[in-house]
């Protein structure tokens, strides 16, 4: 009874423009506010522009963050510029300040205070440090999300590491992206849900789920959905993205994404009757994503070195194959004939010539003479003398 009352009365929120003003008054960037609430920078931006509104636990955390900002920026009878000026001064400067004597001219005493100094610029990070920070922040959550999409923990680790490999290879492009975590998330989802993964024996069967009860039934129902429905449901109800952002990340139109979301919710409600209310499904899906298997990730430095090693390997392989092709082409050019040699005409039968025959069998007379010659001495028979008649 208490939970239904809490859900029916959402936390009040100011207007979208006031939300941004309150966040900036607390000197919070979009990334810092997103880390406090537990969402992405794009989600905070969509809340402040009025394209979407937070729901559930995210709404309570966001309302609490804005309430703290409103308490700090409550008007106390002095202008905003004056308050920022005096807040920027430390205690030593305030103790050393003394009012000017009354003999000074009134115009000089009432001169506007100098402009407050600009806040210090954020520290410069090297590309490796920025990549390590992004990896430490986004990798654990991405592994849990990939596990909800595939049900295979080993594939989830592999997909996240491969996505960060691609991010490090294209870091100049990823570093200036408005949502680097979203860029890596899209790459990890694409690799994890590729149809080719089903052909690998190691990823053929899902792992045994480490949850029980309603969460186990929710995970089983989630894995039975089509891949596109599963991804749309996780992005919208699990991560809190609005419908246009979900459609853009799944490469679908907004009406198609909305239809997938409705169909996925209906399938989940049919399989798990207690999740027919969207708010309840969002809470359970968020809890399942946060309480998933604890990932044992590699260090950020190992991911970077592994990416560089992989890039060197494929570069050397490409150079080797190219060298072999060039060598085979050069050998062919060197050994190929330089002029045309017509082929020999096939042989033709010549008529009128008797065929070649072997030796004929010996006659008795020939055999007698042969025996006589063999019986005579080596010098042959005696010479016959002619007789005179």
Task: Give tens-digit pLDDT for 22-46.
Answer: 887 777 888 888 888 888 877 888 7
Of 28-32, 283-287, 304-308, the range with the highest mean pLDDT is: 304-308
- Give the span between the Cα atoms of 167 and 179, in whole angstroms: 12
The three-point CA angle 360-362-363 to 5° equals 120
Percent of the chain with pLDDT over 70: 74
State residue 336's pLDDT score.
86
238: pLDDT strictly greater than 90: no
Tell me the percentage of the chain whose pLDDT exceeds 90: 6
What radius of gyration do the chain's Cα atoms show? 44
- The pLDDT confidence band at residue 176, using thresholds 50, 70 and 90, is confident
- Nearest CA to 300 out of 185, 159, 131 is that of 131
Confidence at residue 377, expressed as pLDDT on a 0 to 100 scale:
62
| pLDDT the model gives residue 293 | 60
Answer whether residue 4 shows pLDDT above 60: no
Q: What is the pLDDT of residue 75?
A: 46
The CATH 1.10.260.40 domain(s) of the chain lie at: 1-74
CB 192 within 8 A of CB 182: no
CATH architecture of 127-290: Up-down Bundle (1.20)
Name the pTM for this structure: 0.53
pLDDT at 307 over 80: yes
Kindly state the average pLDDT of the residues 164-175: 89
Other beta carbons within 10 angstroms of residue 41's beta carbon come to: 19
Average pLDDT over residues 135-152: 86
65-69, 83-87, 230-234, 378-382: segment of lowest average pLDDT: 83-87
Indicate if the pLDDT at residue 319 is higher than 90. yes
Residue given tokens 């969402």 in the structure block: 39
Report whether pLDDT(270) > 90. Answer: no
Q: Which part of the chain is CATH 1.20.140.160?
A: 127-290
Mean pLDDT within 283-289? 79
pLDDT (0 to 100) of residue 74:
53
In CATH terms, the fold of domain 1-74 is 434 Repressor (Amino-terminal Domain) (1.10.260)
Average pLDDT over residues 276-287: 80
Q: What is the pLDDT of residue 383?
A: 58
Nearest to 292 by CA among 191, 216, 388, 371: 216
Confidence of residue 321 (pLDDT cuts 50, 70, 90): very high
Q: Which two tokens stand for residue 144?
A: 């849990």
Which range (61-65, 163-167, 259-263, 266-270) has the least confidence?
Answer: 61-65
pLDDT at 118: 57
Q: Which two tokens stand for residue 162?
A: 């491969």
Mean pLDDT in residue range 299-314: 86
- Say how far apart CA 47 and CA 122 lie, in whole Å: 25
Between 46 and 335, where is the model more confident?
335
pLDDT higher than threshold 80 for residue 1 = no
Q: What is the mean pLDDT of residues 221-250?
A: 86
Label residue 332 by pLDDT band (50, 70, 90). Answer: very high
Three-class HEC string of the chain? CHHHHHHHCCCCCCCHHHHHHHHHHCCCCHHHHHHHHCCCHHHHHHHHHCCCCCCHHHHHHHHHHHHHHHHHCCCCCCCHHHHHHHHHCCHHHHHHCCCCCCCCCHHHHCCCCCCCCCCCCCCCCCHHHHHHHHHHHHHHHHHHHHHHHHCCHHHHHHHHHHHHHHHHHCHHHHHCCCCHHHHHHHHHHHHHCCHHHHHCHHHCCCCCCCCCCHHHHHHHHHHCCCHHHHHHHHHHHHCCCCHHHHHHHCCCCHHHHHHHHHHHHHHHHHHCHHHCCHHHHHHHHHHHHHCCCCCCCCCHHHHHHHHHHHHHHHHHHHHHHHHHHHHHHHHHHHHCCCCCCCCCCCCCCCCCCCCCCCCCCCCHHHHHHHHHHHHCCCCCCCCCCCCCC
62, 13 contact by CB (below 8 A): yes
pLDDT (tens digit per residue) in 100-116: 444 444 444 445 555 55
Average pLDDT over residues 280-297: 74
Place of tokens 């309430």: 67
pLDDT-based confidence at residue 72 (cuts at 50, 70, 90)? low
**What would the two tokens of residue 200 be?**
């690998």
């Amino acid at each position: 009874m208490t939970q239904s009352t809490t859900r029916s009365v959402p936390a009040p929120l100011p207007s979208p423009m006031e939300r941004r003003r309150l966040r900036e008054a607390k000197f919070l960037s979009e990334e810092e506010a997103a880390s406090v609430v537990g969402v992405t920078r794009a989600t905070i931006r969509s809340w402040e522009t009025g394209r979407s509104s937070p729901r559930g636990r995210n709404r309570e955390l966001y309302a609490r963050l804005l309430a703290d900002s409103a308490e700090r920026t409550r008007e106390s009878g002095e202008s905003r510029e004056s308050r920022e000026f005096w807040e920027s001064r430390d205690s030593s400067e305030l103790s050393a300040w003394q009012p000017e004597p009354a003999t000074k001219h009134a115009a000089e005493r009432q001169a506007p205070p100098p402009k407050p100094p600009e806040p210090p610029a954020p520290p410069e990070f090297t590309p490796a440090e920025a990549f390590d920070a992004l990896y430490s922040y986004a990798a654990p959550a991405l592994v849990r999300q990939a596990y909800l999409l595939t049900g295979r923990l080993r594939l989830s680790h592999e997909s996240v590491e491969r996505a960060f490999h691609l991010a490090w290879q294209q870091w100049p492009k990823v570093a200036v992206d408005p949502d680097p975590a979203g860029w890596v998330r899209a790459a990890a989802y694409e690799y994890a849900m590729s149809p080719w993964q089903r052909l690998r024996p190691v990823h053929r069967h899902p792992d045994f789920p480490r949850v029980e009860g309603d969460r186990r039934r929710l995970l089983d129902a989630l894995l039975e959905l089509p891949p596109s429905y599963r991804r749309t449901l996780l992005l919208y109800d699990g991560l809190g993205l609005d419908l246009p952002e979900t459609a853009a990340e799944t490469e679908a139109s907004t009406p198609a994404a909305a239809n997938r979301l409705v169909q996925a919710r209906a399938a989940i409600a049919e399989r798990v009757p207690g999740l027919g209310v969207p708010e309840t499904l969002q809470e359970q899906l968020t809890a399942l994503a946060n309480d998933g298997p604890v990932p044992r990730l590699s260090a950020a430095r190992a991911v970077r070195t592994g990416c560089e090693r992989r890039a060197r390997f494929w570069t050397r392989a490409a150079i080797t194959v190219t060298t072999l092709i060039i060598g085979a082409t050069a050998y062919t050019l060197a050994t190929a004939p330089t002029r045309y040699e017509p082929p020999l005409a096939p042989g033709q039968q010549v008529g009128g010539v008797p065929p070649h025959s072997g030796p004929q069998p010996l006659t008795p007379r020939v055999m007698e003479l042969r025996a006589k010659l063999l019986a005579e001495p080596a010098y042959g028979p005696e010479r016959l003398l002619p007789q005179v008649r």
